[in-house]
């Protein structure tokens, strides 16, 4: 029986180097205490920001420095907790960091309202007088643009203090699914028992043995079915939290509250859903091709992830995966590759699954730390693409933090998926060029189609579901498990069409999606793959000019509006055209797959 290893059983070289942040946790405690002592100093600026340019500058600099140190505390403690969610020491450390972060947010809450209370001519006069304030010009312009949604100092303090409570649904869901839920053991390939887990499920559903993937599908979803009321309650709490903050800040809807702060028009969201819905026949055509190539009279949801090309084994040890992604990223140039290799050698990546480890994959880090990648590597080709994807995030973070000051040292969620998905496109191009075997080429084309299916079609379906459940609550409707499951099943039937059997278990899949706790996040996977498809094509066809535009994009952080930064890189996401181009690419891949498998 394959048992999930304990954390202390993993070789060090496959774990991330968090000691680079705090080699001794007494230093974490010292930083925690330093932030605690800085909070009263920050509050001491209250009522003084209009006094002089020096007062305003001093406040902004202290705010940034204190938040910078707090980010580091939060990131370290959260990643330690993610190593083993059952470790009570790091649960407590993460809680302490979040409580401190909430206290700091509350103490900083006066800054925005107090700046907005200044006459604009006085504020711009301060910038003309004190050159060091020039650093904050775009930041202040953004603040002024948000004037209708910034509340009084007292209300902002209450909202900041409430943030800790608002995270309860997400925290509860995470502890339930990563620590408390126990999944059954199923009979794996060759009849060997396999303990089901979040990470192993992704591997098992690709099994060529249909019985294995069916058993894994049913066991996983039946496990969630047993907690349907608890998960529905936590999701409802998360949605209600989104709506509370949107209404408190005078946004008409939660969608506008999520998009408008980053100057993303809501038409981008609606255009995505409408464009994809107009092209669902492309997905239905692909489902028919999948059924034919798998030799199935009936296609079920547990048949959607198995490769359509049988007998092609592309399992890859982690070391080989690293060499492969480095070779694939060669078109991005020496500056990119050198930084990537240094990072991998410095143990940015936590590679393998262990007992209690947070499932899935992500890129994390703070302005003052290395970027870090959490994986649950199982050796499949999908895992290689996950590595490439998360390294895209990390390299974006690396170049941004290296180039921008703290105030612009991050990027918007809207931009977050562009760099990661572009890396996937480059990896696909590299692997296809390395292959001369038609069967292997078909396998790789299948993988590329699957990334578009899961990133563009599926994430858009998630986005539509998320929009609808927020709209229901905004209109006074309750999110019951029956309502959630019924609508989720209907959307699956619409997106996948009559060519896929509507398995009853799929109705509970909404309970497995942690991204629903991050308000209106998932649509950006779909817009990201659209932008990345265009940018990757430019890099591969134009060469150096496109590479330089792209590196400038990676280094820009949030120093300009997201839409503008993508335009400078070479793609206009205010138009639905990039989405349509990605969908056209999907059609072309279907043509290619039909030709390769004729």
Please tell me the distance from the alpha carbon of residue 331 to that of residue 15, in angstroms, as a whole number. Answer: 29
Question: One of 390, 417, 424, 466 is an active-site residue; which one?
Answer: 390
For 75-80, which contacts have Cβ atoms below 8 Å and span 24 or more sequence positions?
A: 75/21, 75/364, 75/365, 75/366, 75/369, 76/18, 76/21, 76/22, 76/28, 76/369, 77/28, 78/364, 79/16, 79/18, 79/364, 79/372, 79/374, 80/18
Q: Is 390 a catalytic residue?
A: yes
Phi, psi at residue 227, to the nearest 5°? Answer: -115, 20
Please tell me the distance from the alpha carbon of residue 526 to that of residue 457, in angstroms, as a whole number. Answer: 8
Please tell me the distance from the alpha carbon of residue 458 to that of residue 464, in angstroms, as a whole number. Answer: 10
Cα distances from 558 to residues 53, 262, 407, 551, in angstroms, run 24, 9, 8, 14
Residues paired with residue 77 on neighbouring β-strands, in sequence order? none
* Residues contacting 291, CB < 8 A, separation 6+: 297, 298, 299, 303, 499
- Specify burial of residue 586 (Cβ count, 10 A radius: 0-12, 13-18, 19+): buried
3 state SS of 374: strand
Strand order in the sheet with 372-374: 349-350, 372-374, 362-364
Please compute, for residue 384, the number of CA atoms within 13 A of its CA located in the half-sphere on the CB side.
27
Terminal C-alpha separation, the chain: 40
Please tell me the distance from the alpha carbon of residue 58 to that of residue 49, in angstroms, as a whole number. Answer: 9
H or E element: which one contains 549? Answer: helix 544-555
Cβ–Cβ contacts within 10 Å for residue 132, how many?
A: 12
Please name the residue ranges forming H helices in 409-522.
Answer: 413-434, 438-452, 458-474, 481-496
Residue 278 near residue 518 (C-beta atoms within 8 A): no
Residue 268 near residue 255 (C-beta atoms within 8 A): no
17: left (phi over 0), alpha (psi -120 to 50) or beta: beta
Strands 372-374 and 349-350: parallel
Active site residues: 390
């Amino acid at each position: 029986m394959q048992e999930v290893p304990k954390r202390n059983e993993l070789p060090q070289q496959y774990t991330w180097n968090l000691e680079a942040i705090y080699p001794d946790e007494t230093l974490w405690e010292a930083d925690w205490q330093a932030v605690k002592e800085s909070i009263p100093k920050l509050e001491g600026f209250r009522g003084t920001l209009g006094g002089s340019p020096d007062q305003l500058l001093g406040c902004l600099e202290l705010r940034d420095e204190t938040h910078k140190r707090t980010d580091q505390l939060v990131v370290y403690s959260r990643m330690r907790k993610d190593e083993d969610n059952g470790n009570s020491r790091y649960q407590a450390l993460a809680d302490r960091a979040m409580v401190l972060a909430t206290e700091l947010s509350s103490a900083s809450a006066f800054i925005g309202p107090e700046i907005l209370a200044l006459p604009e001519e006085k504020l711009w006069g301060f910038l003309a007088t004190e050159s060091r304030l020039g650093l904050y010009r775009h930041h202040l312009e953004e603040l002024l643009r948000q004037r209708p949604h910034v509340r009084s100092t007292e209300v902002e303090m209450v909202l900041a203090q409430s943030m800790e409570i608002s995270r309860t649904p997400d925290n509860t869901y995470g502890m339930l699914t990563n620590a408390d839920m126990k999944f059954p053991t199923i009979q794996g390939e060759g009849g060997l028992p396999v303990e089901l887990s979040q990470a192993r499920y992704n591997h098992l559903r690709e099994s060529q043995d249909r019985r294995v993937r069916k058993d894994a599908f049913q066991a996983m979803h039946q496990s969630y079915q047993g907690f349907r009321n608890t998960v529905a309650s936590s999701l409802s709490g998360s949605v209600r939290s989104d709506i509370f903050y949107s209404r408190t800040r005078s946004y008409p809807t939660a969608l506008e509250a999520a998009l408008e702060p980053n100057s993303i028009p809501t038409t981008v969201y609606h255009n995505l859903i409408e464009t994809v819905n107009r092209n669902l026949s492309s997905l239905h055509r692909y489902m028919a091709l999948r059924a034919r190539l798998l030799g199935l009279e009936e296609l079920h949801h547990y048949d959607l992830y198995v490769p359509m090309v049988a007998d092609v084994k592309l399992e890859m040890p982690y070391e080989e995966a690293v060499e492969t992604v480095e070779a694939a990223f060669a078109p991005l140039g020496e500056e990119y590759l050198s930084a990537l290799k240094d990072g991998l050698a410095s143990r940015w990546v936590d590679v393998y699954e262990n007992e209690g480890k947070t499932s899935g994959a992500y890129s994390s880090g703070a302005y003052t730390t290395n970027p870090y990648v959490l994986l649950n590597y199982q050796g499949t080709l999908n895992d290689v693409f996950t590595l490439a994807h998360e390294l895209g995030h990390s390299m974006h973070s690396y170049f941004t933090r290296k180039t921008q000051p703290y105030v612009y040292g991050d990027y918007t969620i809207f931009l977050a998926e562009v760099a990661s998905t572009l890396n996937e496109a480059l990896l696909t191009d590299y692997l296809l060029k390395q292959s001369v075997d038609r069967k292997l080429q078909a396998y790789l084309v299948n993988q590329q189609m699957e990334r578009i299916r899961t990133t563009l079609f599926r994430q858009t379906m998630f986005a539509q579901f998320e929009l609808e459940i927020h709209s229901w609550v905004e209109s006074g409707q309750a999110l019951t498990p029956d309502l959630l499951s019924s609508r989720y099943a209907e959307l699956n039937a619409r997106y996948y069409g009559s060519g896929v059997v509507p398995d009853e278990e799929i109705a509970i899949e909404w309970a497995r999606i942690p991204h629903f706790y991050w308000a209106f996040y998932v649509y950006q996977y779909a817009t990201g793959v659209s932008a990345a498809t265009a940018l990757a094509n430019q890099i591969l066809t134009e060469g150096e000019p496109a590479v330089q535009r792209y590196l400038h994009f990676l280094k820009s952080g949030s120093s300009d509006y997201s839409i503008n930064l993508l335009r400078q890189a070479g793609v206009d996401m205010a138009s639905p055209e990039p989405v349509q181009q990605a969908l056209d690419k999907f059609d072309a891949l279907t043509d290619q797959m039909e030709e390769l498998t004729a």
